[in-house]
Amino acid sequence: MKRISLIPYGDISLLSLASITPRTKFRLFSRIKEITKDNIIFFDDQNEHSLAHSNDSYKDIKKDDVVAVFGTKEESSVKIEKIIKMNLDWSLLVEVQAMEQI
């Protein structure tokens, strides 16, 4: 039996990012803690995670911006495919996600 998903990118949290299986596409809502030359550090209210990036295509994203990160988990790393800056309040996003869990 083959499972087919209507949502190509499953919504995950920073906590579950490390435990997803390889070749899994994910969508992550987070805030930016820091952007260095090679890494972007994302955080939420409990966790943080650093992901490597290879170019300066995220120049418009700054510290404390709320972002949606689209990527793929590979065998030993995480590949960022796209980062989209969200124009919304972090506390509002957390509240909406909590309501969706009910």
Entry pTM: 0.78
Strand partners for 85: 67
Which pLDDT tens digit goes with each residue over 41-58?
A: 999 888 898 888 766 667
pLDDT surpasses 70 at 62 = yes
pLDDT band at 3 (very low <50, low <70, confident <90, very high): low
* Complete domains list, the chain, with CATH: 10-101 (2.40.50.200)
